[in-house]
Structure 1
Amino acid sequence: MDTIDDIAALEAIYDAPVPASLTKVAKRVTPLYRQWIEASRFCVLTTVGPEGTDGSPRGDDGPVVRIADDKTLLLPDWRGNNRIDSLRNIVRDGRVSLMFMVPGSNNVVRVNGRAVLTADTAVTGQFEQRRKQPKTVIVVTPEEIYFQCAKAIMRSGLWTRGDDSAGIPSAGQFVKEMQADFDAENYDSGYAEYAKTRMW
């Protein structure tokens, strides 16, 4: 297989960028991007570190991030599996990307920028839910904000195909594939309830 290892060779394969794909980029949270981001309860956080990249789903029962001002997004780190891969990466390399989605919309809004972590209770306390607070908050400074063309979601039928989950592996089965003596059935039977109790 031939590979492409030269930018000029890559650019020769493609046409020039569509002009709107360049002019749509904002350097701060504009009123319309604010409206879109505040409607999003789910995003994917991408980070980079010495071991490589990490993509992590993030969700909430309200806006997934809080917009502090037009150059600051606050993303709470709610309870998870404590691998903290994304957080380790941010401490070592602040480059991050966020991909926001809203069910029913074929557009995606992307944010590229830099991030730091804080455990300051003046910040974590702003997110208290059910008497629980996130242990840390990811503070993102956007450098680029833009919407993504709708074609990918339209091609995949992400919001229109219905439930495609029948027959796919369960969480317990994934673990059992790596650890043969793991009790996948009992794990899966209690997993949903366990996840609910650990949500915040």
Structure 2
Amino acid sequence: MPSHDIATLADLESLYAEPSGASLAKEVDYLHPHYRAFVEASPFCLLSTASGKGGDCSPRGDAPGFVHVLDDRTLLLPDRRRNNRIDSLRNIIADPRVGLLFLIPGVNETLRVSGTAKISTDPDLIARCVVQDKAPTSVLVIAIHLVFFQCARALMRSHLWSADAQISREALPSNGTIVATLSQNAIDAATYDRELPDRLRNNLY
């Protein structure tokens, strides 16, 4: 039976036309002022990392501009209080290559940044990221290698910002239901769900 898997670069490139025009012109190796505007307006980004175990993608968010622009080749991403899994940070220790995808509510274009990151506890950098008198445990100093905007098609197709596309959280399993099931009820679902709102509110930073 013939394989339909694409396993070589030549086979892959035969499926697609050569990129040209704006798709190439928009790519730069620094944070152009137009792209800086996207970073400073964004309250949310996805951080991709990788290790020998595979790839990972982690959400990061705060007030617009929470990713600080140190200069046109360097970004500063605070590591806010989370669940202490530190998957992304472990990956960066093993492999410093990272990718960022910035989203802005209501805007269908996204901004893609790739580069390398190092984990820092520099007091001056930490101080730049204090929110509500709470400092992040560490910050990622990201050296920019590549920047370009992603066209609007994906968000247009998904209707991501459309109110009509929103679903009720209750339509999906609750967090408590998930952790109770996966822990074989070592964690109580009702207790977890009841305590979660206060835990999130009190431990946001």
The alignment's TM-score, normalised by the length of structure 1, stands at: 0.96
| SS of residue in 1 equivalent to 2:77 | strand
| SS of residue in 2 equivalent to 1:57 | strand
Cα separation, 2, equivalents of 1:44 and 1:30: 20
Q: Does 1:168 align with 2:172?
A: yes
Match of 1:31 in 2: 33
Q: Does 1:130 align with 2:132?
A: yes
| SS of residue in 1 equivalent to 2:128 | helix
- Picking from 185, 189, 199, the partner of 2:190 is 185
Q: Does 1:198 align with 2:200?
A: no
Post-superposition offset of 1:2: 2.6
Match of 1:69 in 2: 71
**Segments of 4+ moved more than 6 angstroms:** none
The alignment's TM-score, normalised by the length of structure 2, stands at: 0.93
Match of 1:78 in 2: 80
Cα separation, 1, equivalents of 2:88 and 2:79: 10
Contact 1:67 1:74 in 2 (8 A): yes
Once the two structures are overlaid, the 10-residue window that deviates more, 156-165 or 5-14, is 156-165
Post-superposition offset of 1:109: 0.3
| SS of residue in 2 equivalent to 1:127 | coil
Cα separation, 2, equivalents of 1:162 and 1:190: 29
Cα separation, 2, equivalents of 1:54 and 1:7: 24
Q: Does 1:111 align with 2:116?
A: no
Cα separation, 2, equivalents of 1:173 and 1:107: 35
AA in 2 matched with 1:75: L
Post-superposition offset of 1:169: 1.6
Match of 1:91 in 2: 93
Once the two structures are overlaid, the 10-residue window that deviates more, 18-27 or 162-171, is 162-171
Cα separation, 1, equivalents of 2:112 and 2:132: 30
Cα separation, 2, equivalents of 1:39 and 1:91: 29
Post-superposition offset of 1:163: 2.2
Unaligned runs of 5+ in 2: none
Cα separation, 1, equivalents of 2:39 and 2:63: 14
Unaligned runs of 5+ in 1: none
Match of 1:42 in 2: 44
Cα separation, 2, equivalents of 1:11 and 1:162: 35
